[in-house]
């Protein structure tokens, strides 16, 4: 399972990082600092919560069978 970030949509609200700073690293300006990231085992629920917290919908989950996500790899 991967978190996919559309950095062009990120507005720097940092709501994702408020859920998990480990999963949703931000740059020095407060914007998402990655394009794609593998979710470590056991952190799937935090990944889903952080993605839902984004008001800009700049984050998506790839390969999440529990929420009907599609594996695009």
30 phi and psi, to 5 degrees?
95, 15
What does the DSSP 8-state code read for residue 68? T
The predicted-structure confidence for 11-50, as pLDDT tens digits, reads as follows 999 999 999 999 999 999 999 999 999 999 999 999 999 9
pTM: 0.84
Q: Which two tokens stand for residue 49?
A: 């919560």
Residue 58's H or E segment, with its range, is none
CA distance 71 to 73: 6
The confidence score (pLDDT) of residue 64 equals 84
Domains and CATH numbers, the chain: 2-67 (3.30.70.20)
Residue 61's H or E segment, with its range, is strand 59-62
């Amino acid at each position: 399972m991967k978190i996919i970030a559309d950095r062009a949509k990120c507005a720097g609200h940092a709501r994702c990082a408020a859920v998990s700073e480990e999963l949703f690293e931000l740059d020095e300006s407060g914007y998402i600092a990655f394009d794609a990231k593998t979710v470590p085992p056991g952190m799937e629920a935090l990944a889903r919560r952080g993605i839902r917290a984004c008001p800009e919908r700049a984050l998506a989950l790839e390969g999440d069978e529990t929420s009907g996500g599609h594996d695009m790899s």
